[in-house]
Amino acid sequence: MHTVFDVCQPRPDVLKGTIQESDFAADLAQVLRGDAPEEYKDPAKFFSNTYPTRGLRNLLLNVALRLSNSPEQIGSIFRLDTQYGGGKTHALIALTHAVQGMKGVANAPEFVEIGKLPKESVRIAAYDGENADPANGRKMSAKVRAYTPWGELAFGLGGEAGYRLVEKGDQSGIAPGAETLRELLGDKPCLILLDELSVYLRKLSGQATTTAAGQLTAFLTSLIKAVESSPKAALVYTLALGKDGRATDAYSQETQSIASFMAEAGSVSARKATLLDPTEEDETVKVLCCRLFSSIDADKAKAVVADYKRIWDAQKDLLPKPAAHDRRFEEFESGYPLHPELIATLTNKISTLGNFQRVRGMLRLLARTVAHLWKQRPADAHAIHLHHLDLAHEPIRQEIVTRLGQNQLVPAIKAEVAAHAGEQPALAQDLDAQHYAGLPPYGSYVARCVLFHTLAFNDALRGLTTEELRYSIISRPPISASLKMPASALSPIPRISMTGPTFRCVSWPRPTSRR
């Protein structure tokens, strides 16, 4: 079997481990100012690192049709609806580059038909709640400091002259009417982007919240009316909502309020926003692979996945029973080198933690893993499995302990999974040294899998069965088809998970020989 090192080439910044925190957190304001990192500021680099998802292609096309006042347009108001860290801001940056012509982007046709893009220059006005400063105001120029979304948008559309139209309302916190906003929009193409309004609402919490919230609703109502009646204007806003329409991130209460405000504003205008998800779940793995790897040999990848399928078929009695329609093979082929069980664990378990940011969180964790894996180059790495998230590697350890706030697991990690260098080895490391010398570190593989399956919001999702554990780890056929595991090793045990400072129900057979 080929290893991942034969099949895949990581992107240089991933391989060197030089991805910065700013590379994981897109900042729309920086892009518009022109001082963002090159990966976001340069359209060619940005789109080379971006996978053309269905939602993103739909967004670019439909906004372009609206800005061109095309008869094919489907609406003027668009809502990017996805979980926290699911690519909303990334999509707004893509939209910004697209409506400016995508100059120098070699793969532009993958994202949008160039002939559909606006022929006229497009004014772009954006409001980013993360950068807002409602108490002190945000400096827009030497003469202008804006305090509200309407103040910032007015400046973005018309500079200082545009801001003067709403200056009194900006300083008093009173929302402008639709006529004033329509005057700002004019008859030329203009794009309004609203990102992280929930963060802005949180920042207002120290003020007269009821009044501020009421003015925000009034502003959104006026803005929707103004955009709808301006033939070449489009409004795109973001909401971090889950599949059930509920917010689960750190700003969940404010997000639900924004959703209610927009629903109320839409009902007043009798116009519903067009909903788009820039990264649907079945495309997440493609987005990750696109950002992590500069090239993947498709023929070799297919051969490796076919080898895995033969292993799964041969060992089917020891692995979980597949669903009626087994899609593991297709999912693996589509997302190679990321093992489907790795993606399922990140998506269905770890993503239930309130502070895990879906695509962004996965990318951060996997980038650290790829950099470490390519340095270690284990001979059994035919794909990237859950057990390759090595908790002995400090950057990966800190992603779990610090960023995900799992400090309560530190004693268990040190005692059972991976101790720091110079400390007494953890149980898994001791097993590797005593019983698996010369073999892959199976003790550590098991311990890592158990820990990551423990990282879920509710008890029902925590842990895994022995069959699921084998499926997670298996990556090569038995040395001989005649070798059989002893019956004692195959007996079922309860779900394995971590609780408190130790593992619960952890057991694995001690091998009687190197074989």
What's the token pair of residue 10?
A: 């990581």
Q: Are residues 468 and 321 in the same domain?
A: yes
Q: Are residues 358 and 235 in the same domain?
A: no
Q: Are residues 216 and 190 in the same domain?
A: yes
The overall average pLDDT reported for the chain is: 84
Q: Are residues 81 and 110 in the same domain?
A: yes
CB contact at 8 A, 291 and 49? yes
Q: What is the pLDDT of residue 214?
A: 76
Helices (H), 422-496: 427-435, 442-454, 466-473, 487-490
User: Is the model's pLDDT at 1 over the cut of 90?
Assistant: no
Helices (H), 315-357: 328-335, 340-348
- Asked, for residue 21, whether it belongs to a domain, the answer is no
- Last-in-domain residue among 224, 250, 279: 279
Chain-centroid distance of CA 400 in Å reads 16
- Asked, for residue 224, whether it belongs to a domain, the answer is yes
For residue 74, report the phi and psi dihedrals to the nearest 5 degrees: -110, -5
Q: Are residues 287 and 189 in the same domain?
A: no
- What is the mean pLDDT of the segment spanning 392-406? 90
Percent of residues, the chain, with pLDDT higher than 90: 55
Look at the block and give the residue holding tokens 């991805």.
Answer: 19
Q: Are residues 154 and 167 in the same domain?
A: yes
- Asked, for residue 13, whether it belongs to a domain, the answer is no
Q: Are residues 266 and 293 in the same domain?
A: no
User: Is the model's pLDDT at 249 over the cut of 90?
Assistant: no
Q: Are residues 240 and 302 in the same domain?
A: no
Q: Are residues 302 and 267 in the same domain?
A: no
Minimum mean pLDDT range among 59-63, 140-144, 189-193, 457-461:
457-461
Q: pLDDT digit string (tens) for 117-157?
A: 999 999 999 998 888 888 899 999 999 999 999 999 999 99
- Give the count of domains, the chain: 2
- Asked, for residue 36, whether it belongs to a domain, the answer is no
Q: Are residues 425 and 457 in the same domain?
A: yes
Q: Are residues 182 and 245 in the same domain?
A: yes
- How many Cβ atoms from other residues are within 10 Å of residue 444's Cβ? 22
Q: What's the CA gap between 197 and 203, in Å, rounded?
A: 10
- Asked, for residue 445, whether it belongs to a domain, the answer is yes
Residue-number span of the structural domain to which 417 is assigned: 282-504
Q: Which residues contact 172 (CB under 8 A, 6 or more apart)?
A: none
User: Is the model's pLDDT at 38 over the cut of 80?
Assistant: yes
CB contact at 8 A, 491 and 324? no
- How many Cβ atoms from other residues are within 10 Å of residue 443's Cβ? 23
- Last-in-domain residue among 259, 279, 299: 279
Residue in 493, 492, 488, 491 with CA at minimum distance from that of residue 510: 488
- Last-in-domain residue among 279, 311, 337: 279
Q: Are residues 291 and 364 in the same domain?
A: yes
CB contact at 8 A, 90 and 96? no
Q: What's the CA gap between 57 and 61, in Å, rounded?
A: 6
The CATH code of the domain that includes 217 is: 3.40.50.300
3-class SS of residue 458? coil
What's the token pair of residue 395?
A: 């950057």
Q: What is the pLDDT of residue 457?
A: 82
- Asked, for residue 38, whether it belongs to a domain, the answer is no
- Asked, for residue 382, whether it belongs to a domain, the answer is yes
- How many Cβ atoms from other residues are within 10 Å of residue 316's Cβ? 11
Q: pLDDT digit string (tens) for 320-374?
A: 998 888 888 999 999 999 999 999 999 889 988 877 777 778 888 999 999 999 9
Q: Which residues pair with 194 in a beta bridge?
A: 127, 237
- What is the mean pLDDT of the segment spanning 392-405? 90
What's the token pair of residue 145?
A: 């400091």
Q: What share of the chain is helix, strand, coil (3-state, %, to 5)?
A: 55, 10, 35
- Asked, for residue 11, whether it belongs to a domain, the answer is no
Q: What's the CA gap between 37 and 156, in Å, rounded?
A: 21
